[in-house]
Amino acid sequence: MLRALRWLALLWALAPQARAAEVPRGREVIEVDHVPGKLGAVIFRHADHGRRKRPDGTLIRCRDCHHTLAGDEPTSAAQLQAMRCTLCHVGLGEAPRVIGGKAARPVAALKPDGAIDHRSILFHDYCRGCHQAQRGGERLLAACKVCHEKGIGSGVLHGRYDAERQPGTALSWLRCAAGQRWTGKRCDGAAAAVSWAEAPGHCPEGYRLPAPAELHGLLGCAEGGRGCRPCAQSPACAPLLGADAGSYWTSAEQGEKAQVVRLADGAASLQPKGGAAAVRCLQEVRP
């Protein structure tokens, strides 16, 4: 019943066909936030676009962007429901969806080493491409600041999107445990649990396992793990790794055993190398 009413309301909204189709309430302004890079979300306002002219003098229509619409504008509630780009253009690094024999580009691709391929960002190409095509666009509308309000600072375009420097140190940590993926806000998926011998193979090129002292430094405690706070309560750890409480392999070994440090409380213990623990990787960067 409620469903039917909602459909009726939508149909009603579209009913006066003489009037131009409108962007539904709540969708006028959209945070485009599909790529977990360091620039953050881009604000898209339909209102900046609807009344604007294309280079040939005609108005920009819905279909100029919602390119799979049959007509210039949506004419049914069903069409209006199917306008989200990500219905077809899947997330970062996922395999493209094939629709009607044609592959829809993912929102961005990853390079083999796990960094974002900056040449592959669908929304950037698509937004900036049209802006460049406008009269005087290259100068006025295609400048990075038009869309990336904070501007493109140094450090934004280089390095991994999913690594962050620990302030006051030369250490750059991957945000997520091996096996997980950084979405820009959190780590998705399950952390891999592997043997000590396998662990370094789960780090990207140039990254390594931490020493126990490096994990303890993150937790703000003395070497050996005395006086550690949980990661979630440590000023250095929380912003980087959140509330992680997992147990991680370190590079320290003794015979058949290697040290594992627990981020819940900093406890360090020697574990058989053939056992299973999670993997965190880090890199030293130039200060």
Query: Using CA atoms, how far apart are residues 99 and 92, in angstroms rounded to an integer?
Result: 18
> Whose Cβ is closer to ligand HEC: residue 183's or residue 259's?
183
Tokens describing residue 260: 């594992």
Taking the complex as a whole, the smallest distance from the CB of residue 43 to ligand HEC amounts, in Å, to 7
What is the CB neighbour count within 10 angstroms for residue 262?
20
Please, what sign has the CA dihedral across residues 262, 267, 270, 275?
A: negative
Q: What's the min distance (Å) between Cβ of 45 and ligand HEC?
A: 6
Dihedrals φ, ψ of 152, to 5°?
Answer: -95, 95
> Burial level of 184, CB count in 10 A (0-12/13-18/19+)?
middle
Q: Which two tokens stand for residue 224?
A: 């050996």
Q: Please give the residue whose beta carbon sits closest to ligand HEC in the complex.
A: 37
> CA-CA-CA-CA torsion for 15, 17, 21, 24, nearest 10 degrees?
-10
Q: Which is nearer to ligand HEC, 137 or 275 (CB)?
A: 137
CB-based burial of residue 72 (10 Å sphere; 0-12 exposed, 13-18 middle, 19+ buried)? Answer: middle
Q: How far is the CB of 50 from ligand HEC (least distance, A)?
A: 6
* CB closer to ligand HEC out of 58 and 269: 58
Whose Cβ is closer to ligand HEC: residue 135's or residue 253's?
135
Give me the residues that bind ligand HEC (CB under 6 A), please.
Answer: 21, 23-24, 27, 30, 32-35, 37-39, 41-42, 44, 46, 48-50, 52, 60, 62, 64-68, 73-74, 80, 83-89, 99, 102, 104-105, 118, 121-124, 126-128, 130-131, 134, 141-142, 144, 146-148, 152, 157
Q: Which of 86, 233 has the CB closer to ligand HEC?
A: 86
Least distance (Å) between residue 141 CB and ligand HEC: 6
Instruction: Give min distance, CB of 245 to ligand HEC, in A.
Output: 29
